[in-house]
Amino acid sequence: MTHPARPTTVPGVIDIPRELAASQEKFNGEAGRAFIAGLPERTARFLDHWDLRPDGPAMHGVSALVLPVVRSDGTPAVLKLQILDEESEGEPVALRAWNGDGAVRFLDHDEPTGTMLLERLDETRMLSHVPDAHEAVVTIAELLAHLTSFPAPPGMRRLGDIARDMLDRTPRALARIPDPEARRLVADCAAAVREVADEPGDRLLHWDLHDENVLASGRAPWLAIDPKPLAGDPGFELWPALDNRFDPDDIVWRFDAMTDVLTLDRPRAHAWTLGRLLQNTLWDIEDDRPLDDTRLEIARRLKKPRSGVIRPGP
């Protein structure tokens, strides 16, 4: 039996949160425990290496510790320390490509560890705090329209490879879904992906642009953070905004609004959106978790492609 790593400390700088230690234990096992154990030394090393002064309490998500700092020239920034995996290794590549245009500005990077120095945004002003869900959805769509106008750099993870892998895993997963209606729904998602898998697209995708990954800034109303980038079709980007602040009666409006703003072909966007349900479902089944009713309901609401094909996105 394993136990979450105990919180550790960089004296006078950070207390490593128990929640971060627990999530690393849960999702990354031994590698996560090693990451947490090494955080004090790594934090101290990069504070010294980049001549940084801590400037406030550390923040964290599921996988990264973010420490507000000030550079030697007085510029505020954040030090992002994270475990290096296939998702995080693409983050500096994407941020360099966007170069602060619609996303947080990239300042420096240590490739062996994945540690990054980034522009500091206003963490107190998050898109999830905007009361109007429709306004938030349109804001995400506008950001995605801009971010996905960039071609994916060479070497980025590719949606085509992800799609083929999902389709290969689907038969085994379907056999483990006891409910006939849910099994048919997931099979329909796989069939939709199969129709578009040979044309997966080549745009630079964020992949995880939900309303807590959009922050305000003094230089722009809203900027994206924390990409898990890949090369592919912008239709694969819509799912988080459909899932945020879940409202089943609002799903079709959100889908139509986003495809309008991104000028996407709706049947293709529909197929790639169902691909996100397939991706999430495969993870749930393979990790022995129950299927998520909210996700299944989104797929039910979008089961039939919306009418009105509009011109494909870039």
Catalytic amino acids? 208
Place of tokens 């010294």: 48
For residue 56, the one-letter residue type is G
Strands (E) in the chain, as ranges, are 9-10, 14-15, 53-54, 59-60, 64-70, 76-82, 106-110, 115-119, 122-126, 203-205, 214-216, 223-224, 230-232
Cα(314)–Cα(295) distance, integer angstroms: 28
Q: What DSSP letter does each residue of 33-47 carry, written as one string?
A: HHHHHHHHHHHHHHH
Question: How many C-beta neighbours within 10 Å does residue 196 have?
Answer: 24
Which residue from 220, 227, 226, 221 is spatially nearest to 204, judged by alpha carbons?
A: 227
